Amino acid sequence: MASPPAIRRASEQDIPALAGVLARAFFDDPVASWAYRPDDLRLWALERFQGTRTRQLIGHEEVWVDEGLNCAALWAPPGRWKASVRETLELVPSFARPRLIARLPLVTLGWEKLEHGHPREPHYYLAVLGTDPSAQGQGLGSAVLQGVLEQCDRDGIGAFLESSKESNIAFYARHGFKVTEEVRLVRGPSMWKMWRDPR
């Protein structure tokens, strides 16, 4: 029986590599395709978005990676999930191309809609989970989730996420998450809110 993948907390030195991994992981994601419509600009934009988001969350010490930096789970602890105005503005440069900037108002509406829909009870928020396409199917996604899910169980705190792919719902369900609502983005795809009670 193979041993589980080794995981660790990410460091700031990992951010450039993780930006590339998460950009590749989300390239065909329905929400990423809606936000960054031109295929030839999406990887460029996603690298900037994911690099910024990782930099914003890494200070909470709940960004978990595998040793090969092929997969990452970006968590925010209870009470720290809401992006500040400054953090939101830091994401704007990922739209800094003429064929992308027109999407920014629509994406901003979608972002605000999701933020207003967070549960009120304390929870760990899984902001991003992604695996490089070349490393999928190796159990890395499950491995990088475990540290925080075990913490949730020890502390008796829930966990929350929004799945941007319907095909990922079954994966999250195996880890105890249940769909609580389907949210349709403005002129865009659906996302599925999922909640996990502590075990």
* Confidence band for 88, pLDDT divided at 50, 70 and 90: confident
Above 80 in pLDDT, residue 67?
yes
Structural domains in the chain, sorted by start: 7-196 (3.40.630.30)
* Partner residues linked to 158 by β-bridges: 123
Residue tagged 């865009």 (tokens): 188
Number of helices and strands in the chain (H, E): 8, 7
Alpha-carbon distance 170 to 176, whole Å? Answer: 10
Above 70 in pLDDT, residue 1?
no
- Please state the pTM of the whole predicted model: 0.92
Above 80 in pLDDT, residue 75?
yes
Q: Are 93 and 48 in contact (CB under 8 A)?
A: yes
Rounded to whole angstroms, what are the CA distances from 61 to 66, 80, 92?
A: 15, 12, 24
Whole-number CA gyration radius for the chain: 16
DSSP label of 117: T
- Which one-letter amino acid corresponds to residue 160? F
Look at the chain and count its residues: 199
Lowest-confidence range among 74-83, 92-101, 146-155?
A: 92-101
